[in-house]
Structure 1
Amino acid sequence: MLLLLVIATGKRMYREDLLRSAGRAYPIHMFTTAEPTWEKEHITDWTVVPSTTDPTAMVAAARKVAESKPVGGVVCWGDGPVSAAAEIASALGLPTSDPVAVQHCRDKHQTRVLLEAAGVPQPISRAVDTLEEARQVVDRTGYPAVIKPRGYGGSFGVVRVDGPGDLAEHFMSTRDTTDPHGPAYEAPVLVEEYVEGPEISVDSVIRDGKVTPLFVARKVVAYPPHFEEIGHYVDAGDDLLTAPELTRQLTDIHAALGFTHGVTHTEFKLTPTGAKLIEVNARAGGDLIPYLGMRATGIDPGVVTAAVAMGEEADLTAHRRRVAGIRFYYVDEDDTTIADVRFEPSLLPPAIERTYIIAAPGDTVSPPPKGMRVGRVAYATAVAESIEECRTALDAAGAALQIDVV
């Protein structure tokens, strides 16, 4: 059986479900920067490399693996190594989008430029290097505006600014928020028009340029003026999943980027004038969105992403019609040192399916903005018949969460 190369995995709490499913379907050889630990249960072999983001070294390492056993596909579920993964697949003649198209997704400014030329609805966006350049852009687009790092995901460094004072206060922090595994840009900050409306994401499969949406996630954000993602809901019966206009936009977006094969996570704002693109990621969604999609629809994203990478057909049919949600929980004050975190089982309603403790005793954590994403102390997931039932269950889980501090 052909090998599936997996380039790193990401954190266990977010990516083990994907790795477990992929490992049940295909023998996995993993590239990693450290000796695997929990991953060993799901893989057959591995190679430790100095970096998973160096395309030249990674291609050489992949060729060495392929000399001993045929390789059928390459998978990457993280932003940092995704370009290298595409380079490996291209060098070995395996199914992939052009690495340039993958890089178009990594570079949010390049995404905007290409989609602006294609007429795709999106906020006005310009890349800048200095505060003065940012001021000049906002003078044209008006307040409120959004500033964000050009090459980072996960809402790191993304801030709504409502006036010149906010822009001056937050600009340098956003400019200094860079992906340690990504490229350095001469104009590293995007200044964008702020658009109103709820935010969604769509995980899709793309084969030979045809885009098939798998599931829609409704995002919950908090801690303004930042955009911390504190939860998501996936409804297998979401009307947007079959909305022709959204499908047309997804097709136009991927065509404009040149992305013809793989899995993507595309984010939109649902504005009063229609859906507007926020960003495109050349990988499956984060924050356990693939897991929520599986629990809501029955589609297994781990198997799907692996099969697509191998150039094989995957079952994209929903076998379940439920709603799944996740909530992330935080401490109330900055620099809180944890003594213990636990959920009281007797207080958890039946709809709660999984609880997970992130913070360990001795950790010092903060809520956003100081603890953007890294300040999460626990999460819970719920499966029910409606978003409201999931929300109620996740509220109850929050009440059942007990945090002892030093």
Structure 2
Amino acid sequence: MTMGHLLVITPGLRAYREYLLQSIGREFRVHLVATEPPTWELAYTVGHTVVADLADVDGLVRVARAVDAEQALDGVICWDETWIEQTAQVAAALGLPGGDRRCVERCRDKYRTRAALDAHRVPQPLSVLVSGHEEALAVAGDIGYPVVVKPRALAGSFGVVRADSPTGLPDAVEFTDASGESAPDLPTHERNILVEEFVQGPEISVDSVVHRGAVTPVCLARKEVGFEPYFEETGHVVDPDDPLWSDGTLADVIVRTHAALDFTDGATHTEIRLTPSGPKVIEVNARIGGGMIPLLNLMGGGPDLALAAADVACGRPPRLRAATGDRRVAAIRFYYPLKDDTVIADVRFEKSRLPEQVARCGPLAAAGEVKSPPPRGLMDGRVAYAIALGADADTCRAALDKAGQALRVDAA
């Protein structure tokens, strides 16, 4: 197979996304589009273009056409939720896979996602779009408490909160309504709030690649959530040999979900609750999953999602290349400051206190940054992470507990 030419729109944060660019850069000629001159990205790219505004679709298309004129592009990819609609428009302009903007919008807009899944009878929580406190109270009373209040068009659990009673619902609606300020580049709607049934059960995510309508799950993670009543993702556990891989009902729901959304080419991150009555879809993102989940899959011996996603972005069947070595459970834990508005002076792990199962760890905050635990700080409140490898999930979790004890966060 010849080395493809791939346009990557924005690299993302190094700590969270470098491994994707590293994997793709080994097998593809990567031209990067970014808003800042690249530094660490240069090791994985053959060219780059700096643009002023990623929201300028016409400008992105001009860049893509210029790159394509020098050497024909085979695909375009983006793993930043903020810019996936613009990426689809670029792909469409060049006649490349993944250019169906309406499909991406159905994933970006949770209301449209719910409508599409409902039309195809895909199992999901009951969900109603509302436009204020009074309407939310009426809907929540019909659904029954507890309910989940969430924004229509954000991601990463921003603005998602559980309300356990009518007295707590107004604060939940206000929290969700204000969450749009955290992502000003994402679209807003006049009616921007969903009130949903709270479904019980563990939550998982499934990262898949789709080539000409054929859905191939690549990575399955069990999500760990904290800071109730918020839904902050505090960690993930990935077992390449998870027994859920043989669950036929789950596999059927994943395939039906993509069919309902008419998703034919690209990578997806589907979040699902395993309820007593079966799997129910929480949301679908038209991109590679975050939280370093694909890295866990790779470190544990599973297939390389980045490479498979690059393949389907270029219209090729996905290569499901597994890592070499033993297959192990991999888990990540994210750590937060103890107090709101902590001005970071230093973040470090005492290496002598780290257990042998910790394979990787590092800071997610730099000196001078201000960090807060949820609810003031959600994903953007994290100060450090650690990844553990072990024979089972409990071994990994115990190691990550010890890593937390070895973490030192100095405040300025």
What's the TM-score, normalizing by structure 1?
0.97
How far apart, CA to CA, are the structure 2 residues paired with 1:187 and 1:10? 30
Q: Which amino acid aligns with 1:323?
A: V
Q: Which amino acid aligns with 1:322?
A: R
1:70 Cα shift? 0.7
Q: Which amino acid aligns with 2:205?
A: S
Superposed counterparts of 1:86-97, under 5 Å: 86-96=88-98
Q: 1:10 aligns with which of 12, 32, 39?
A: 12
Q: Which amino acid aligns with 2:123?
A: P
Q: Secondary structure at the match of 2:217?
A: strand
Q: Deviations over 1:236-279 (max 9, x none)?
A: 11111221111111111111101011110000011111111000
Indicate the RMSD between aligned Cα atoms, in angstroms: 1.4
Cα 1:131–1:360, aligned 2, differ >3 Å: closer, same or farther?
same
Is 1:37–2:51 an aligned residue pair? no
Q: 1:387 aligns with which of 385, 388, 393?
A: 393
Q: Which amino acid aligns with 2:315?
A: G
How far apart, CA to CA, are the structure 2 residues paired with 1:2 and 1:405? 47
Q: Is the 8 A contact 2:5 2:75 kept in 1?
A: yes
Question: Partner residue of 1:300?
Answer: 304
How far apart, CA to CA, are the structure 2 residues paired with 1:259 and 1:51? 27
How far apart, CA to CA, are the structure 2 residues paired with 1:151 and 1:163? 25
1:363 Cα shift? 2.8
Question: Partner residue of 1:192?
Answer: 196
- Residue range with higher mean Cα deviation, 105-114 or 330-339: 330-339
How far apart, CA to CA, are the structure 2 residues paired with 1:258 and 1:54? 26
Question: Partner residue of 1:183?
Answer: 187
Superposed counterparts of 1:135-146, under 5 Å: 135-146=137-148
Q: Deviations over 1:299-345 (max 9, x none)?
A: 11221111121122333254552110000011212122333221111
Q: Which amino acid aligns with 1:4?
A: L
Q: Secondary structure at the match of 2:136?
A: helix
Q: Which amino acid aligns with 1:389?
A: T
Q: Secondary structure at the match of 1:229?
A: strand
Q: 2:272 aligns with which of 243, 259, 268?
A: 268
Q: Deviations over 1:117-149 (max 9, x none)?
A: 110110111112211121121121011001111
Q: Is the 8 A contact 2:311 2:319 kept in 1?
A: no
Is 1:203–2:207 an aligned residue pair? yes
Give 5+ residue unaligned stretches, structure 2: none
Q: Secondary structure at the match of 1:81?
A: helix
Question: Partner residue of 1:250?
Answer: 254
Q: Is the 8 A contact 1:97 1:259 kept in 2?
A: no
Q: Which amino acid aligns with 2:206?
A: V
- Residue range with higher mean Cα deviation, 74-83 or 29-38: 29-38
- Residue range with higher mean Cα deviation, 96-105 or 50-59: 50-59
Q: Deviations over 1:91-110 (max 9, x none)?
A: 21212252211111000100
Q: Deviations over 1:146-204 (max 9, x none)?
A: 11111000000100001122111121221122232222212111111111111100001
Give 5+ residue unaligned stretches, structure 1: none
Q: Secondary structure at the match of 2:74?
A: strand
Q: Deviations over 1:23-76 (max 9, x none)?
A: 111111111122222211211111122222333332232112212221011111
How far apart, CA to CA, are the structure 2 residues paired with 1:328 and 1:269? 21
Question: Partner residue of 1:114?
Answer: 116
Q: Is the 8 A contact 2:90 2:99 kept in 1?
A: no
Q: Is the 8 A contact 1:53 1:80 kept in 2?
A: no
Is 1:368–2:370 an aligned residue pair? no
Q: Is the 8 A contact 1:53 1:83 kept in 2?
A: no
Q: Which amino acid aligns with 1:383?
A: L
Q: Secondary structure at the match of 1:177?
A: helix
Q: 2:331 aligns with which of 325, 328, 331?
A: 325
1:19 Cα shift? 0.4
Q: Which amino acid aligns with 1:350?
A: E
1:375 Cα shift? 1.3
Q: Is the 8 A contact 2:89 2:99 kept in 1?
A: no
How far apart, CA to CA, are the structure 1 residues paired with 2:145 and 2:296? 35
Q: Is the 8 A contact 1:213 1:241 kept in 2?
A: no
Q: 1:216 aligns with which of 210, 215, 220?
A: 220
Q: Secondary structure at the match of 1:51?
A: coil
Q: Percent identity?
A: 49
How far apart, CA to CA, are the structure 2 residues paired with 1:181 and 1:338? 27
How far apart, CA to CA, are the structure 1 residues paired with 2:228 and 2:139? 22
Q: 1:277 aligns with which of 278, 281, 286?
A: 281
Superposed counterparts of 1:152-167, under 5 Å: 152-167=154-169
Q: Is the 8 A contact 1:143 1:162 kept in 2?
A: yes
Cα 1:82–1:245, aligned 2, differ >3 Å: closer, same or farther?
same
Q: Is the 8 A contact 2:110 2:153 kept in 1?
A: yes
Superposed counterparts of 1:48-127, under 5 Å: 48-96=50-98, 98-127=100-129
How far apart, CA to CA, are the structure 1 residues paired with 2:309 and 2:95? 18
Q: Is the 8 A contact 1:147 1:191 kept in 2?
A: yes
Is 1:354–2:368 an aligned residue pair? no
How far apart, CA to CA, are the structure 1 residues paired with 2:300 and 2:31? 30
